[in-house]
Copies of this chain bind each other. A is one copy, B any other.
């Protein structure tokens, strides 16, 4: 397989991107093609030992910046690492595209350059949501791509998320939960009430509504919501985790007795920090476009890049895009029944 990696996206590009690619390359047989400023990437690559056959560079002269307007950027910067990389997947030169760049641009670029899967109205970003104390993360769809949704969009998110969870994360018959104000069918907004009806009619393993308090406890394997709510869930979790870790640090260094206790607990405190570490779980897949595209966190370091590459391989290998295409008729059946 050929993995196309955006060498210029994210806060730590190209240094950490290249380093992560080299580290991943040692663990896999697949080929990695790093797209971006040839000189800069080669300069970074020279720091490491790697196999020429497994890592190569594809030059692209432009870079889409984080503050670029997404749609305009992907339309105008035709020779950006992002657009070039996406087109390599489209043409078959690559099997998978991974980028830590501008999220909006990556979404827009995937839509323009690869296109939507026929029958999918709204592609979505799915985010791996760690469940503390377990090694079984949930998948949150949509994590922020579509701030306004129709009920049928939530059904699409559920279907695509279910396939990804099963094929990439290896969880059979994943449990789908719809984020809502309460567990009762009658609760919620116009959107969630209608989506509940559609999900119930589907072939998915729909377990009903879940309240937001169940999300961090692993209440569902696939957590379905509109992108506004998904974004709130992701960002709030991040903010609260940072806040709690900082508070622990502060409290545990307030006096000598506490400091001694913290020394004894240092291993445990470190393992707690790892629980919050998004870099272990890899990137966020964009679902619903005609090719496997993965968005890495903008602040990804080499370890995050390495893990994103490793975890993304089954996205292409298991033909998730093809399976979604073949499953679209199931959504159509539910919608026809509804009319």
Report which residue of A147, A190, A262, A263 has the largest number of chain B beta carbons within 10 angstroms of its beta carbon: A147
Report which residue of A144, A192, A228, A237 has the largest number of chain B beta carbons within 10 angstroms of its beta carbon: A228
Query: Which one of B133, B189, B235 contacts A228 once the chains associate, using CB atoms below 8 Å?
Result: B189
- Of A9-17, A110-118, A268-276, A295-303, the stretch lying at the interface with chain B is A268-276
Residue A246 lies at the interface, judged by CB distance under 8 Å to chain B? yes
**B-contact 0/1 string along A216-244, CB 8 Å cutoff:** 11000000000111011111111111111
Residue A326 lies at the interface, judged by CB distance under 8 Å to chain B? no
Residue A247 lies at the interface, judged by CB distance under 8 Å to chain B? yes
CB pair B243 A147 closer than 8 Å: no
Interface size on A, residues (CB 8 A): 55
Residue A323 lies at the interface, judged by CB distance under 8 Å to chain B? no
Q: How far does the Cβ of A299 sit from chain B's closest Cβ, in whole Å?
A: 13
CB pair B217 A231 closer than 8 Å: no
Inter-chain CA distance A240–B232, complex, in Å, is 14
Q: A212-B236, A251-B268, A258-B268 are in contact. List 10 more A-B contacts (CB 8 A).
A: A132-B244, A148-B190, A179-B232, A213-B242, A215-B236, A237-B240, A252-B268, A257-B264, A260-B264, A261-B262
| Given A190-B148, A251-B272, residue A233 in contact with residue B236 (CB < 8 A) | yes
Query: Which one of B188, B214, B257 contacts A239 once the chains associate, using CB atoms below 8 Å?
Result: B214
A and B contact pairs by CB, cutoff 8 A, 12 listed: A132-B244, A147-B181, A189-B228, A212-B233, A213-B238, A214-B239, A229-B229, A236-B237, A260-B261, A260-B264, A261-B261, A264-B264
